[in-house]
Structure 1
C-alpha cells in the first residue's frame, strides 16, 4: 500500500508541467499571429496636404544669374605693357572713355618710320609728276612747231600748184614743195602719236608712284591705329565690369583687358534640370525672382546641349527692373509649361516621380492613422503633382519623407 501513495504526487507534478508547457506554447503562437505595433509620428513635424480638383498650372523651376544683353570684351592685339589704369571696375563709362594706357617702344619706333616713309613717298610722287609734266610740255611744244611748219608747207604747196597751172612755177619747184609738205605732214602725225604714248606713259608712271604713296599711307594708318589702341577705350556706353590686368603687366596678343556691359538691358540665364526640359518651348512665360521683386518675361533661347545635367535657358526681362538688379545677380525663374482646366492634384511628395507609380501614406477619416496606398502620378509642377489614380479630392496625404517607415504599412499620428 506504500507504493501507490508515493507515485501519486509525481503524477500530479508531471500533469501540471505539461499543462503549463502547452499553455506557454499556445501563448507564443498567439503572439506570433499578432501584427506589429504601428510606429508613432509627431503630427506637428509632418507635412500634410489635401487632394484638390480644379485648374492646375504646370511649371518648372531653375536657378541662374542675370546676364547683360550687350557685352563688349576688350582684347589686346599686340605685345604691350600696362602703364596706367585710368578707370576701376564698377565705373560708368562712355564709348570714348579711356580705361588703360599701354606702351610698346618698338611700335612707337616703327610708327615714326612709317610716317617718314609716307612723307618720302608723297615727295617722290610730286617730283615724278613734275618731271613727267615737263617732258610732256616739251613734246607738246615740239608738236606745235611741227604743226605750224606743216601748215605753212601746205599753204606753200597750194600756192605753187596755182602758179604752176599758170606757168609761173616750174615743175621741179612744185615737186620740191610737195615733198616738203608730205614730209612735214608725216612728222606731224608721228609727233601726235609720240605725244599720245608719252601721255599714256605719264599716267602709268604716276599710277605706279601713287600706288607707292597709298602703300606708305596704309602702313602709316595701320601704325597710327595700333598706336591709338595703346590707349584702350570702353567702346560702348555702360559699366566697366572686369579689369583683369595690373600696372606693369606684360600683355600678349589676345589677352582680355576689360569687360564692359550695358547694365539696364539684362536677361536671365537659367539652369533647368535635363529631365524637366523636354517640354520647354521658346515663348513660354517666365517669372524671374530677383529676391527684391518679380519680373515677367518669356523664353528667348533653349540651349540644344546638356551640360552637367542641366539645360541653359535664356529668358527676357520685361518691364522695369527691381532695385538691385544687376549683372551676375543670382535669381530664380519659374517657367510655365502648360495649364489644365480640370485636374486632380496634390502637393508634391518627396518620393513622387512624374508619370510613375508610387506609394504614399493616406490619412484615415479621423486623422489618427495613415495607411500606405498605391498611387499613380501624372505630370508634375514646381510644388504640385497630378494624380491619375489612387486618390480622390478631399483625401489627406503625407508629403514628408517617409523613407524611415518603409517597413510599416501604417503609422499613428499624435
Structure 2
C-alpha cells in the first residue's frame, strides 16, 4: 500500500521558490549594474584634488628653488708652482684680509727674487754712473760753447775797432777785411757749437731715458718676484669666513690652482632656479619673497643669467631687510617672484602639468551628480599655484586638478 508523503512535496516547492528568488535577485543586480553604466571608470574622491572656479584678483607669481650665496666670495689661487707646506686655518674659521691661510714653499721662487733684486741694483748703479758721465760731457760741451762765445765776442769788438781805424786811415782796409772774415768764421763756429749743445742735451735725455726704462723694467720684475715670494703665504684678501681649502699638506700645486675660498657671510643673496618657460615674465627689480625655512624675507631681482642651464635660468635676488639668525651660505630656500596683479579674473587652482596660455582638457563635475565630464578649457596667465580661466568654465564649477592621464581615453568618470 503506497503512502503519500506531503513533506517531500513541500520541500520541492520551497526549493523552486528559493531558486526563483535567487534568479530574480541576480537579474535585479544585473539590471542595477547596467543602469549604473559599467563603462564609466570609478575614482575615489579622497584620491583626487578638486578645485572650484572663482572670480577675483589674481597675483601672478613665479616660484623657484634656490640657495643662499655670498654676495662677495673670492677664490685664492696659487701664483706659482709650489708645494703646500702648512695649512694654518680650517674651513669655517673667520678671517681678516691679511690672515694667512696656508704657506707654500718653492726654492726657485726665492732664488728668482734674489736674482731680480741683484739685476735691479746693478742697473740702478749703472744708471747713476751713466748720469755722472753724461753730466761731465755736458759740462765739457758747455765749456767749449763758452770758449767759442768768448772768441766771437772778442772778434766782434776787434772788428768794430778796426772799422773805426780803417775809416780814419790808420789801418788798411785789407786788415779790416781780415777782421771781418775772422768774425764770420767765429759766428759759424758759434752756431755749430750751439746746435751741438742742443743735440747733446737731447742725447743725454734719450740715453738716460733708455737706462731708466731698463731700470723700471727690472724693478717691475723684482716686484713681481717679490710678490711671488710673498704669495707663498696665502692670505684671505677679504674679511669673511673661510669656506674651502681643497688642498692637503705636501701636495704639489700648479700656478692658477685654487687654494682657498673666502666669502663674506654677512652679505648674502638668493640664487633661484626659474623654469625657462616662465622667464618671459621675470624682469629686473620685481619683488621677491624668499622663504629661508626660518622666516620669509623680502627682496628684489638684481640679476638674470643670460644662459639656460638644464631647463632653468639663474636669477639673483638681493634682500631688502635683515636675514633671520642662523642662515648661512648654501642654505636651501624657495623664492616667489611677484610678476603681475590681475584684477577681477576667472581663476582656478593650477591643474597638474598644465602650462599657461594653452588649451587643456579637464574633468568638470556635473551639478548634483557624481559624474565628471571631460571639457576643453582655455587657460591664460598662470601663477605658482593658480591659473586664469579664459574659456570653458564658469564661476562655481568644480573641476579635477589632479593628474588623470591614466583615464586619458575616457570622457567621463564616476567620483565616489
Aligned partner of 1:371 in structure 2 is 371
Is 1:35–2:36 an aligned residue pair? yes
TM-score w.r.t. the length of structure 1 is: 0.77
- Residue 330 of structure 1 and its aligned partner are, at CA, apart by 0.3
Conservation of the 8 A alpha-carbon contact between 1:361 and 1:370:
no
Is 1:362–2:373 an aligned residue pair? no
Range with greater deviation from structure 2 (142-151 or 314-323): 142-151
Runs of 5+ unmatched residues, structure 1:
1-15
Work out the CA distance in 2 between the residues paired with 1:164 and 1:108.
Answer: 83
Q: How does 1:45-194 map to 2 (within 5 A)?
A: 50-169=52-171, 174=176, 180-194=182-196
- Residue 338 of structure 1 and its aligned partner are, at CA, apart by 3.1
Aligned partner of 2:413 in structure 1 is 409
- After superposition, the C-alpha distances for 1:367-391 in whole angstroms (9 at most, x for unaligned) are xx73222342624433334455666
Work out the CA distance in 2 between the residues paired with 1:179 and 1:405.
Answer: 126
Q: How does 1:6-405 map to 2 (within 5 A)?
A: 27=27, 31=31, 33-35=34-36, 50-169=52-171, 174=176, 180-350=182-352, 355-360=358-363, 362=365, 365=368, 370-375=370-375, 376=377, 378-379=379-380, 380-387=382-389, 393-394=395-396
- Residue 411 of structure 1 and its aligned partner are, at CA, apart by 3.6
- Residue 160 of structure 1 and its aligned partner are, at CA, apart by 4.1
CA shift in 2, pair 1:169/1:231, >3 Å: same
Work out the CA distance in 2 between the residues paired with 1:163 and 1:292.
Answer: 116
- Residue 65 of structure 1 and its aligned partner are, at CA, apart by 0.8
Runs of 5+ unmatched residues, structure 2:
1-15
- After superposition, the C-alpha distances for 1:183-228 in whole angstroms (9 at most, x for unaligned) are 5555444433443333333333323322322222222232233333
Work out the CA distance in 1 between the residues paired with 2:27 and 2:102.
Answer: 93
CA shift in 2, pair 1:213/1:280, >3 Å: closer
- Residue 36 of structure 1 and its aligned partner are, at CA, apart by 5.9
TM-score w.r.t. the length of structure 2 is: 0.77
CA shift in 2, pair 1:53/1:124, >3 Å: same
Conservation of the 8 A alpha-carbon contact between 1:99 and 1:234:
yes
Range with greater deviation from structure 2 (321-330 or 47-56): 47-56
Conservation of the 8 A alpha-carbon contact between 1:241 and 1:259:
yes
- Residue 252 of structure 1 and its aligned partner are, at CA, apart by 1.3
Conservation of the 8 A alpha-carbon contact between 1:361 and 1:397:
yes
CA shift in 2, pair 1:370/1:377, >3 Å: farther
Conservation of the 8 A alpha-carbon contact between 1:352 and 1:358:
no
Work out the CA distance in 1 between the residues paired with 2:365 and 2:65.
Answer: 33
Range with greater deviation from structure 2 (112-121 or 348-357): 348-357
